[in-house]
Every structure is written in C-alpha cells, then in structure tokens.
Amino acid sequence: MGKIKVMSENLANKIAAGEVIEKCASIVKELVENSIDAESTKIVVDLKDGGIKGVKVSDNGKGMDKDDAKLAFSRHATSKLYRDDDLFFINTLGFRGEALPSIASVSEVTLRTTFNDEGYMIHIKGGELLEEGSCEATPGTSINVENIFYNTPARLKYLKSETTELSNCTNYIERLALSMPSISFELYNNDKNIIRTSGSGNLAKVIHELYGSTISTRLIPFKVTSDDFDINGFICKPEILKSSRSHMITFVNNRCVKNIDINRAINDGYYNHKPDNKYPVVFLNIFTDPTLVDVNIHPTKQDIKISKLYELCELLTTNIKKSLEVTNLVPEINLDVHEENEELVVNSDFINTRNSFDLVDSSNEEESSEQITLDFTKVEEINPQKEKNEELKKLYLEPIGSIHGTFIVAQNDEGMYLIDQHAAHERVNYEMVKKMIEEKDINRMSMLFPIQIELSPSEYISLKDNIDIITDLGFIVEDFGINTIIFKETPTWLSEGHEEEVIRKIVDLIVGEKKIVDRVKFNESLIQSIACKMSIKGNTPMSIEAMKSLLDQLFECDNPYNCAHGRPTIIKFSSYDLDKMFKRAMT
C-alpha cells in the first residue's frame, strides 16, 4: 500500500487555519470582512479577554438562507468568485472560501442568520456539525466564536497577552472604520466600549471619533487624479509626527494595505518637513482598476502588488509636497490639556498627541466632541497655481525682541510667535547653499591664510578617494606635504569667520564615512551640517533690524517651517490662548 494518502477534510482545514488564522485579530478580520461584503451598515464586535476567550461579530447585512449557511462552512465555498476571470476583478474583501471552515475547525462556532424573515442557527465544534435549526429572526448575521484553538494547543500557546490581542483587534477595526466611513463600527471588550463610529460617511468625522481633535483639527484635505489613480483622504500637518510608520494608513479600493513603496513615497513627500526618524500621519484611499491590483500574494490580503507602482509613488510624493507648500504649517500651541495621558509636543515634542490604543469611555468622548465643530466636507483638488507659502507671507510678523538671545518674539493681530533664530538661519543657509551647488553657480575667493588639514594615512586615502565631493562644493584644494591637504580657495557662500569650522566639519564627515554608498543622501547630509555650522547660535543677541531681515529671508524659503534637520522654526500662541493663560478669557 502506498505511503501517500489524501488528508481528511478536517485535517486540511486545520492546516489552512494555520495560514489564515494567526491570532484573534485574524478571526475578527475574516468575520468583519464578510459582514462588509454582506452590505452591512452597522457591525458590532464583542470580545472576551481581548478575543482569547471569544469573538462575536454581529451585523445588519443581507443574511443567508439555510442552505448557504451550511455551505459557508465548506472549504472553498464562496459567493464572491465563480469563474477564473473573477480573480482579476476582485471587489470584495473576503473571497477565498477558506475563512469560515478554517475558524470552525479550530474552535466552537455558533452562527445565527436571518433571510426572508426566517431565522436559522448552526452550531459547529472542531469542524463537526453539532446542532442546526430555526431561531429568532433578527436582521443580519451574528457569529460567535469560542474555545479558540482548543484542539490545536500548539497554536493556542502562541496567542499573546490580552492587551496585545486587544491592541491588534482594535488596530484592525480602526483601519476598517477609516476605509469604510459609511459603516458604523462598535468594538467592545468584556462589555466595555472601545470604539464607536457613527457611519456618517464623513472621513474627517471618523478620524475625530477615533483619534480626537489633536489630529482631526490638523488635517489637510488631499485629492488628486491621474489616468490610472484617484486618491483622496487627508494628510496631517507635520507638527504631528510618530515614531513608527504605522500611522501612514493607506487603502487600495477600500482595502487596508501595507506597502513599503507606498509608505516610502508618502514619507518622501514630507521630506525636509520632519526629522528622518519621525513619520507622518496620513489617511489615503487609492482607487484604481482592479486589474492593476493583485491581492492574492498573501492569505491576509494586506500585502499587495500594484501595476504602475512607480507612477503611483510619483503621484503621491509630488502632490503631498504641493499640498504642504500651499498650506500654513505654523504649529499653534494648544494650552488645553485635559487628559492625563496627553502631553504638549510639536513634532512629537510640542503638540498634544494621543495613543490610538487608549481604552477610553466612549460616553466621555462624545461629551467632549460636542464642543468641537469640524467641517472637512469640502475637499478641493490641489491648486498648483497657488503661491508657495502664501498664507505664511500674509502673517506680516513684527519682531519686538528676543528671549535669552535664542528665540525671536514677533507679533501680529492674531497673537504671538516664537522663532528659533538658529533653526530659521539654518533653513536660510541650507536652501542658499543647496541652490548654488545644484545650479553650479559657485564663485570663489582666495584665502589670505590657507587652511591646512593634517590627516592619518587612512584618513588621507579616504579623503583623496572622495576629493570630488569637496571640489563640487566649490573649494580649491591641493596636496601639501605628507598626508596633508591645503584649502586655498573657498566658495563665496561660506560665511566669513566660519571657514575653518566648516572645512573641518566637511573633512570629518567624509573620512568618517567608510564607504559612501548613496552620494545624493551623503551630499544632503553634508549640506545640512554646513548650514548648521554657518548659522547664528543660541544665546547670541540680534538687533531688531537683523531679526526682521532674517524673517524676510525665512519667508522666501521653499520650506520656512523647519530647519534642515526637521525641527520647527516658528510656533504660534494665539491671542485667545494668551488671554486664557492670564484668566482674561474664562471659556
């Protein structure tokens, strides 16, 4: 007798469950996606101990008749694919026909559904049908999953703590609510409400319901169209930044996806508006022809392939830059800090932020949201003809003094502004040096006392190997003895009095880099360091005339809101907040 045998259906389902059902959030994902495909407008998820003890999903969708309800637990049974060609036109979230049989094979499942006013119940444990029959006719379908992985202990032991499993489930429902703003989502854990969205169809309102006013009041409407892609949603002002990429939330045809190239394109759009180790907050839905998207490369269907990906990334980066260029990005300090878990931060250091997994009482959230009026319903396409930094130039700031010789104090009718003089000067110098180098518009002048740099043999070899970097910056150098370089001419952009400091910094950066792989990034880092060294330092008094000149130069920059390293240059205190601080305004 041969060694090869056909596995039983139940064993095959258990193996499939290992691919489809990785954690409690996987069960939530599969059940909720089926509810969405059933055209539900309200979906309620009830968890016990973060889903470890049980997951129940109820909806008000179309429901199923008796035959479909039983067949749904058969492997490869689906209502969403009928022909081979359907794989190229997938418009549903669930489609493989593996989720329900996989879940039922490793747990105890009770399904109640209603179709044509007739209720039907089915009870399955470990893939075996235990009970079926009529039940109360309640609109929609509810599926209750208990005893998860009871018959596969090897899988059970890999479940994480209640907090981790709850965070995974919460994270997924958050993203679904953002992708489907017209559906009302509710999430409970041990009867405590975690998430509740209204299903209003207004994405900005959903963002406010999930993340609060800190993010929802700093949104920039985003809408752009090309021959192959329609993109809409919101990007957030760069005063709100996160330490990870997890808040770059993107959807493709309403499906939540994770794509490294798309995230990189979004991050590149914020280039120069943030530090390298911080990431923006965005909520973008990308609509395209289903034939350009392949969602079949992973069981979770979150990792996808997109045809014309390069064009999509270019579209995102270019238009995010344009959106930021025509928006007033001056951070306004919010002095109202009501919750203990909030702190005052900008660029994750100055503006109020909230952890999206905070388990807050929804009733309190509703009471606070009533005091805030939001209107992001009018989303206009980017106007490329609008002048860069037009809103900032209209501020007409008047410098009136400084604090500790470090922060310029300016005012207008709207309030008080603090400008970091070093950060502002660094931005001016950075754009000036970069423009001259890129346009090769470099004039030189001879040094009365040439600067001599002595190096070790290994440093000398490294510097000589990259000597073109120095000459491209506009310096004229020559060998001068053993392991020694002499700088004879300097570019005119180099500020008087900073020559030796800047030259030594350039040499240190070049010899400190063992191998320069990416010349563009290295040059960028080099220009940033040069601009920093040439800029006015803190604790350095400036005259009012010098302050005004610096502000005028700053406002002419392409990006006046951040220094070359991404720190903010200017922060606003509104007149209203100042009045509140001194109890002149009591509301």
% pLDDT > 90, the chain: 46
* pLDDT of 451 above 80: yes
pLDDT, position 8? 60
pLDDT, position 494? 87
Kindly report, residue by residue over 156-183, the tens digit of the pLDDT: 777 889 999 999 999 999 999 999 999 9
% pLDDT > 70, the chain: 81
Are the CB atoms for 474 and 442 separated by under 8 Å?
A: yes
The highest-confidence range among 296-305, 342-351, 370-379, by mean pLDDT, is: 296-305
**What CATH homologous superfamily does 9-196 map to?**
Histidine kinase-like ATPase, C-terminal domain (3.30.565.10)
Are the CB atoms for 219 and 207 separated by under 8 Å?
A: yes
Please report, for residues 394, 417, 419, 425, the alpha-carbon distance to residue 552 in angstroms, rounded to integers and kept in the order given: 12, 15, 12, 11
Quickly state the pLDDT bin for 336 (edges 50, 70, 90): low
pLDDT, position 337? 42
Mean pLDDT value across residues 479-490: 92
Mean pLDDT value across residues 5-21: 55
* pLDDT of 360 above 50: no
Mean pLDDT value across residues 378-390: 59
Quickly state the pLDDT bin for 335 (edges 50, 70, 90): low
* pLDDT of 104 above 60: yes
* pLDDT of 199 above 80: yes
* pLDDT of 437 above 90: no
**Between these two residues, 316 and 520, which has the higher pLDDT value?**
316
As a whole number of angstroms, the longest Cα–Cα distance in the chain is 99
Residue with tokens 């406010």: 208
Closest Cα to residue 547, out of 355, 451, 403, 378?
Answer: 403
Three-state secondary structure of 544-562: HHHHHHHHHHHHCCCCCCE
* pLDDT of 13 above 60: no
| Class of the CATH domain delimited by 387-587 | alpha beta
Write out the two tokens for 341. Answer: 């878990």
Cα atoms found within 13 Å of the Cα of residue 107, Cβ hemisphere only? 31
Quickly state the pLDDT bin for 355 (edges 50, 70, 90): very low
pLDDT, position 86? 43
pLDDT, position 338? 41
Residue with tokens 């026909």: 97
pLDDT, position 543? 94
* pLDDT of 25 above 80: yes
pLDDT, position 158? 76
Instruction: Give the chain's mean pLDDT.
Output: 82
CATH classification of 202-384 is 3.30.230.10, yes or no?
yes
Give the CA radius of gyration of the chain: 30
* pLDDT of 374 above 70: no
Mean pLDDT value across residues 276-288: 93
Supply the pTM of this predicted model. Answer: 0.77
Quickly state the pLDDT bin for 75 (edges 50, 70, 90): low
pLDDT, position 177? 94
Strand ranges (DSSP E) for 333-406?
398-403
Mean pLDDT value across residues 481-501: 89
**Between these two residues, 81 and 150, which has the higher pLDDT value?**
150
Spell out the domain ranges in the chain: 9-196, 202-384, 387-587
Please report, for residues 93, 182, 222, 232, 323, the alpha-carbon distance to residue 382 in angstroms, rounded to integers and kept in the order given: 31, 25, 7, 11, 6
